[in-house]
């Protein structure tokens, strides 16, 4: 059994451990203090950033770039765009933009700001995320959007002329799109001296950001010597927060199952500690759903645990459930929010007093040698751990329970995370830059340069998809069309091939489903029922065609939620699929794709899938070990994921959509193919050898 202790505490107080969970030691009991909810205007004025209102507006007026650093919850995201609006930056049809790396954050802050301004979301205040545009071209003044969407907008309007101020928020996250955006905005600034940039974040190396935006351009002076243009050296403003102390607790011994440890920790806090909400950091929808279920059962079975409200928080969560997370906790109850690292800095939750930190998050890692990208549960950095702990000190002194040892924190955890740019597949990034006319990717003005191997690999992949030509320029029309669709290029290529094969309707449906995390409801403990439900739709061709059956069934049921419930299908996910599908159809029509159905001809469907995903082809090596496959290119050992309908079926040749790695590399979304299609789809990539395709 594991134990907690607080280093440096004088006399630890033992909190008993009836549940057979983890044991905690705490140095001093904290006192409970009530906190009420004030009117919106009062709340606004209480935020730390309010004191800096005049200073911020002055700096933005006089500097091309302003860097603003301030603790999470100080009011940067929700307040600064409003200050700018109040100061007239949205007059004359101009728009104030505020970018976020995460879609859920975009929606949440936009709806909060609309509420604070007393306007209907989608009018003066709007938001745009991929597949969802809630803005009004005539009335929107403040617009929240993902950094990816803003990049996409540059394809139609390279200088982003409709924006007067662009606030790049959460810059410390260093998402791939943020980094690309910062590089491009620096270029735009030279052409548009009137544009103002705000770069804001919770923790930022303001100095390196500042020197990145430092330009040596000579300033134009007026006749009397006054500046005609804003100063080009960035201003730095630090918003002093007013966080409370957070006591840190570490494990004495490491645990192997952080999920179980998190659940026990939550229950012990609830039993032993004064009122106050609990925020738990896990990694993704699967472990969050599992924890929610375990806790809900516990509450159900044990009256001692009544008064707990257990809520998940991850992107892709339906709006109604998001709203629950932000609504005030009823008196006498305790809210437990189980979240991905979205609650680390992107969203501020009121009322959190306790944080449980698993020490992990889901991160993208890319290996340019094997050309394999994985979404991996990986350790967070010390900087992240500090941010997570900080979330407990918002309303009064709080406590953070780290589900790892102090030694691990000090010795093993990296101090800072690696920018996404340096650990991700650069294929989409390269297309975006090429579409904007930036040819020399390595020579681009990066905040942190990507590795040459990763850039070369991306160029190779794009070349093999015939998206780039021999001169590494976008091909016409394919390359430009792929840039226009702005999905994963392999999916875009699949859609374009479907056009030639006469199955665009079906492939668009499949693409919509692939852009959703999962259409199945995963409930711990009812794996058997879920598998049975899947069998009702499963076909030997694989997951993609199975999805089409689910989609057909959903339509035939009249889009019934009851039908979804009976079949273990996520109703909200299916509704989203319908929405995304409509958007994709519109994009397809815009770029000249004829919408056509293949009327059940699954061979052409699988050929279209192969045309996009030929690089992910594998052949079965051996039935032993549950069916071991090797990728045709690179000979990587991979296995069919248990969630696939082809699990244990093990066709000889398959292609997959993505890989996840846990104990092994698992292929998700798998389709059986005929190897001859590989050479047909990509003669430049595969050649015949003794009857079978091999990679060049
Ligand atoms: O961006 P920063 O972390 O500095 O703070 P913010 O997101 O602007 O949050 C300022 C305040 O607005 C906090 O007190 C949040 O709790 C509140 N807020 C909210 O109540 N609902 C939202 N959807 C977003 C923010
Ligand atoms: Mg913020």
Report ipTM (2 d.p.).
Answer: 0.98
How far apart are the CA of 172 and the centre of ligand 2, in A?
A: 11
For 547-604, the pLDDT digits (tens) are: 999 999 999 999 999 999 999 999 989 999 999 999 999 999 999 999 999 999 999 9
- Alpha carbon separation from 669 to 379, 541, 628, 658, 679 (Å, rounded): 26, 11, 16, 7, 21
Q: Which pLDDT band holds residue 318 (cuts at 50, 70, 90)?
A: confident
Look at residue 25 in the predicted model and tell me its pLDDT: 33
Could you tell me if 552 and 467 lie in one domain?
yes
- In percent, how much of the chain has pLDDT > 70? 91
| Beta-ladder partners of 608 | none
Whether residue 647 is predicted with pLDDT greater than 70 in this model: the reply is yes
Look at residue 33 in the predicted model and tell me its pLDDT: 35
Could you tell me if 257 and 212 lie in one domain?
no
Task: Record the pTM.
Answer: 0.85
Mean pLDDT check: name the lowest of 39-53, 107-121, 231-245, 495-509: 231-245
User: Mutation test of ligand 1: which of 35, 37, 72, 78 has the most ligand atoms closer than 8 Å to its C-beta?
Assistant: 78
Look at residue 221 in the predicted model and tell me its pLDDT: 54
- Domain total for the chain? 3
- 3 belongs to a structural domain: no
Of residues 369 and 465, the one with the higher pLDDT is 465
For 59-116, the pLDDT digits (tens) are: 999 999 999 999 888 999 999 999 999 999 999 999 999 999 999 999 999 999 999 9
Instruction: Please tell me the distance from the alpha carbon of residue 466 to that of residue 433, in angstroms, as a whole number.
Output: 17
Look at residue 203 in the predicted model and tell me its pLDDT: 78
The response to whether residue 75 sits with its C-beta less than 6 Å from ligand 1 reads yes
Could you tell me if 417 and 431 lie in one domain?
no
Instruction: Please tell me the distance from the alpha carbon of residue 511 to that of residue 509, in angstroms, as a whole number.
Output: 5
Could you tell me if 431 and 462 lie in one domain?
yes
Q: Give Cα 235 to chain centroid, integer Å.
A: 30
Look at residue 18 in the predicted model and tell me its pLDDT: 32
Whether residue 27 is predicted with pLDDT greater than 50 in this model: the reply is no
The response to whether residue 424 sits with its C-beta less than 6 Å from ligand 1 reads no
Report cis status (omega within 30 of 0) of the bond before 477: yes
Place of tokens 């290996």: 367
Instruction: Return mean pLDDT, the chain.
Output: 88
Tokens found for residue 523: 């409930």
Look at residue 606 in the predicted model and tell me its pLDDT: 97
For 143-191, the pLDDT digits (tens) are: 999 999 999 999 999 999 999 999 999 998 899 999 999 999 999 999 9
Could you tell me if 652 and 669 lie in one domain?
yes
Tokens found for residue 572: 């909200």
Find out whether 655 and 618 touch, Cβ atoms under 8 Å: yes
Instruction: Please tell me the distance from the alpha carbon of residue 177 to that of residue 154, in angstroms, as a whole number.
Output: 13
Residue ranges of alpha helices (H) inside 522-623 are 527-535, 543-556, 561-566, 571-590, 602-613
Sequence-distant (≥ 6) Cβ neighbours of residue 654 within 8 angstroms: 542, 617, 618, 619, 620, 629, 640, 646, 667, 670, 671, 672, 673
Look at residue 225 in the predicted model and tell me its pLDDT: 57
Whether residue 625 is predicted with pLDDT greater than 70 in this model: the reply is yes
- 42 belongs to a structural domain: yes
Ligand 1 atom with least separation from CA of 349: 16
Look at residue 22 in the predicted model and tell me its pLDDT: 42
Query: Once rounded to an integer, what is the mean pLDDT over residues 512-536?
Result: 85
* Rg for the chain, CA atoms, rounded: 26
Instruction: Please tell me the distance from the alpha carbon of residue 549 to that of residue 564, in angstroms, as a whole number.
Output: 13
Whether residue 523 is predicted with pLDDT greater than 70 in this model: the reply is no
- 637 belongs to a structural domain: yes
Q: What share of the chain is helix, strand, coil (3-state, %, to 5)?
A: 40, 20, 40
**In terms of residues, how long is the chain?**
696
Look at residue 8 in the predicted model and tell me its pLDDT: 32
Could you tell me if 450 and 376 lie in one domain?
no
How far apart are the CA of 568 and the centre of ligand 2, in A?
A: 36
Whether residue 351 is predicted with pLDDT greater than 50 in this model: the reply is yes
CB-CB neighbours of 352 under 10 Å: 22
CB atoms within 5 A of ion ligand 2 belong to 77
- 14 belongs to a structural domain: no
The response to whether residue 444 sits with its C-beta less than 6 Å from ligand 1 reads no
Question: Which of 136-150, 227-241, 648-662 has the largest mean confidence?
Answer: 136-150
Could you tell me if 454 and 542 lie in one domain?
yes
Among candidate residues 681, 525, 548, 690, the one with its CA nearest the CA of residue 616: 681
Of residues 228 and 293, the one with the higher pLDDT is 293
Q: Which pLDDT band holds residue 23 (cuts at 50, 70, 90)?
A: very low
- 577 belongs to a structural domain: yes
Could you tell me if 655 and 537 lie in one domain?
yes
- In percent, how much of the chain has pLDDT > 90? 67
Query: Once rounded to an integer, what is the mean pLDDT over residues 638-663?
Result: 92
User: Mutation test of ligand 1: which of 39, 48, 73, 391 has the most ligand atoms closer than 8 Å to its C-beta?
Assistant: 73
- 12 belongs to a structural domain: no
Among candidate residues 147, 216, 236, 223, the one with its CA nearest the CA of residue 185: 147
Return the residue whose CA atom lies nearest to atom 15 of ligand 1.
348
- 67 belongs to a structural domain: yes
* CATH classification at residue 508: 1.20.120.1080
* CATH classification at residue 280: 3.40.50.300
Instruction: Please tell me the distance from the alpha carbon of residue 629 to that of residue 542, in angstroms, as a whole number.
Output: 16
Report cis status (omega within 30 of 0) of the bond before 401: no
For 194-233, the pLDDT digits (tens) are: 999 999 988 767 788 899 998 755 555 555 655 557 888 8
Return the residue whose CA atom lies nearest to atom 10 of ligand 1.
75
Sequence-distant (≥ 6) Cβ neighbours of residue 89 within 8 angstroms: 60, 96, 164, 165, 196
Look at residue 29 in the predicted model and tell me its pLDDT: 31
Boundary residue ending a domain (356, 387, 421): 421
The response to whether residue 394 sits with its C-beta less than 6 Å from ligand 1 reads no
Give just the sign of the alpha carbon dihedral 582, 585, 590, 591: positive
Among the bound ligands, name the one nearest to the CA of residue 108: 1
What range does the domain containing 154 cover? 37-239
Q: Greatest CA span in the chain, whole angstroms?
A: 83
3-state secondary structure of 682: coil
User: 162: buried, middle or exposed (CB in 10 Å: 19+, 13-18, 0-12)?
Assistant: middle
Whether residue 472 is predicted with pLDDT greater than 60 in this model: the reply is yes
Instruction: Please tell me the distance from the alpha carbon of residue 34 to that of residue 351, in angstroms, as a whole number.
Output: 10
- DSSP letter string, 279-300: EEE-SSHHHHHHHHHHHHHHHH
Could you tell me if 252 and 235 lie in one domain?
no
| Beta-ladder partners of 379 | 360
Q: Which pLDDT band holds residue 350 (cuts at 50, 70, 90)?
A: confident
Of residues 633 and 505, the one with the higher pLDDT is 505
The response to whether residue 243 sits with its C-beta less than 6 Å from ligand 1 reads no
Ligand 1 atom with least separation from CA of 346: 3
Could you tell me if 196 and 338 lie in one domain?
no
Could you tell me if 181 and 298 lie in one domain?
no
Sequence-distant (≥ 6) Cβ neighbours of residue 528 within 8 angstroms: none
Instruction: Please tell me the distance from the alpha carbon of residue 332 to that of residue 320, in angstroms, as a whole number.
Output: 23
Instruction: Please tell me the distance from the alpha carbon of residue 571 to that of residue 521, in angstroms, as a whole number.
Output: 9
- 473 belongs to a structural domain: yes
Boundary residue ending a domain (421, 446, 465): 421
Phi, psi of 193 (to 5 degrees): -60, -20
Boundary residue ending a domain (374, 404, 421): 421
Return the residue whose CA atom lies nearest to atom 6 of ligand 1.
75
Tokens found for residue 678: 């590989």
For 371-407, the pLDDT digits (tens) are: 667 778 899 999 999 999 999 998 899 999 999 999 9
Instruction: Please tell me the distance from the alpha carbon of residue 106 to that of residue 127, in angstroms, as a whole number.
Output: 7
| Beta-ladder partners of 339 | 281, 313
Look at residue 6 in the predicted model and tell me its pLDDT: 34
Instruction: Please tell me the distance from the alpha carbon of residue 156 to that of residue 98, in angstroms, as a whole number.
Output: 19
Judged by phi (left if over 0) then psi (alpha if -120 to 50, else beta), residue 236 lies in beta
Look at residue 228 in the predicted model and tell me its pLDDT: 57
Look at residue 368 in the predicted model and tell me its pLDDT: 73
Look at residue 446 in the predicted model and tell me its pLDDT: 92
Instruction: Please tell me the distance from the alpha carbon of residue 334 to that of residue 533, in angstroms, as a whole number.
Output: 36
Look at residue 524 in the predicted model and tell me its pLDDT: 63
Could you tell me if 231 and 286 lie in one domain?
no
Whether residue 10 is predicted with pLDDT greater than 60 in this model: the reply is no
The response to whether residue 109 sits with its C-beta less than 6 Å from ligand 1 reads yes
Find out whether 251 and 257 touch, Cβ atoms under 8 Å: no
Whether residue 319 is predicted with pLDDT greater than 80 in this model: the reply is no
Whether residue 38 is predicted with pLDDT greater than 90 in this model: the reply is no
């Amino acid at each position: 059994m594991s134990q907690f202790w607080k280093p440096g505490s004088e006399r630890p107080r033992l909190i008993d451990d009836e549940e057979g969970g983890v044991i905690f030691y705490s140095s001093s009991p904290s006192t409970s203090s009530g906190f009420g909810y004030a009117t919106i205007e009062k709340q606004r004025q209480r935020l730390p950033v309010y004191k800096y209102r005049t200073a911020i507006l002055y700096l933005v007026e006089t500097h091309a770039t302003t860097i603003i650093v301030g603790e999470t919850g100080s009011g940067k995201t929700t307040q600064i765009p409003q200050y700018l609006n109040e100061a007239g930056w949205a007059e004359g049809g101009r728009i104030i933009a505020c970018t976020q790396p995460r879609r859920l954050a975009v929606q949440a802050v936009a709806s909060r700001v609309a509420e604070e301004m007393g306007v209907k979301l989608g009018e003066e205040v709007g938001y745009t995320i991929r597949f969802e545009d809630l803005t009004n071209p005539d009335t929107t003044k403040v617009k929240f959007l993902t950094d990816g969407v803003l990049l996409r907008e540059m394809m139609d309007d390279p200088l982003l002329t409709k924006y007067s101020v662009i606030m790049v928020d959460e810059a410390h996250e260093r998402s791939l799109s943020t980094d690309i955006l910062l590089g491009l905005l620096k270029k735009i600034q030279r052409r548009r001296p009137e544009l103002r940039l705000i770069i804001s974040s919770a923790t930022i190396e303001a100095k390196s950001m500042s020197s990145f935006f430092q330009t040596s351009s000579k300033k134009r002076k007026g006749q009397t010597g006054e500046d005609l243009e804003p100063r080009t050296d960035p201003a730095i403003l630090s918003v002093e927060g007013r966080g409370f102390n957070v006591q840190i607790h570490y494990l004495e011994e490491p645990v192997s199952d952080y999920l179980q440890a998190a659940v026990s920790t939550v229950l012990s806090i609830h039993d032993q500690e004064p009122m106050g909400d609990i925020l738990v950091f896990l990694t993704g929808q699967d472990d969050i759903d599992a924890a929610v279920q375990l806790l809900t059962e516990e509450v159900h079975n044990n009256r001692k645990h009544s008064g707990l409200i257990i809520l998940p928080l991850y992107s892709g969560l339906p709006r109604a459930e998001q709203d629950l997370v932000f609504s005030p906790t009823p008196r006498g109850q305790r809210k437990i929010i189980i979240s991905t690292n979205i609650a680390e800095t992107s969203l501020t939750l009121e009322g959190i007093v306790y944080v449980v930190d698993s020490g992990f998050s889901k991160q993208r890692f890319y290996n340019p040698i094997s050309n394999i990208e994985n979404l991996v549960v990986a350790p967070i950095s010390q900087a992240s751990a500090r941010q997570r702990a900080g979330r407990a000190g918002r309303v009064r002194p709080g406590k953070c329970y780290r589900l790892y040892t102090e030694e691990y924190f000090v010795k093993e955890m990296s101090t800072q995370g690696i920018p996404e740019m340096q650990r991700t597949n650069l294929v989409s990034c390269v297309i975006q830059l090429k579409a904007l006319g930036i040819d020399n990717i390595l020579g681009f003005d990066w905040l942190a340069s990507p590795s040459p191997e990763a850039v070369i690999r991306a160029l190779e992949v794009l070349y093999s998809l015939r998206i780039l030509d021999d001169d590494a320029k976008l091909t016409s029309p394919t390359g430009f069309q792929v840039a226009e669709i702005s999905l994963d290029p392999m999916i875009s290529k699949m859609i374009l091939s479907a056009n030639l094969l006469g199955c665009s309707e079906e492939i668009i449906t499949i693409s919509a489903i692939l852009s959703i995390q999962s259409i199945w409801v995963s409930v711990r403990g009812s794996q058997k029922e879920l598998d049975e439900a899947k069998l009702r739709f499963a076909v030997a061709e694989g997951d993609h065609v199975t999805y089409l059956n689910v989609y057909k069934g959903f339509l035939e049921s009249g889009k019934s939620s009851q039908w979804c419930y009976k079949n273990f299908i996520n109703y909200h996910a299916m509704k989203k699929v319908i929405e995304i599908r409509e958007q994709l159809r519109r994009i397809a029509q815009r770029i000249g794709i004829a919408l056509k159905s293949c009327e059940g001809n699954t061979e052409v469907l699988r050929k279209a899938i192969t045309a996009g995903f030929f690089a992910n082809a594998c052949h079965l090596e051996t039935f032993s070990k549950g069916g071991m496959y090797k990728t045709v290119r690179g000979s990587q050992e991979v296995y069919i994921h248990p969630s696939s309908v082809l699990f244990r079926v093990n066709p000889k040749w398959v292609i997959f959509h993505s890989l996840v790695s846990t104990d092994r590399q698992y292929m998700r979304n798998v389709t059986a193919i005929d190897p001859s299609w590989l050479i047909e789809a990509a003669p430049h990539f595969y050649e015949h050898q003794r009857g079978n395709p091999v990679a060049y």
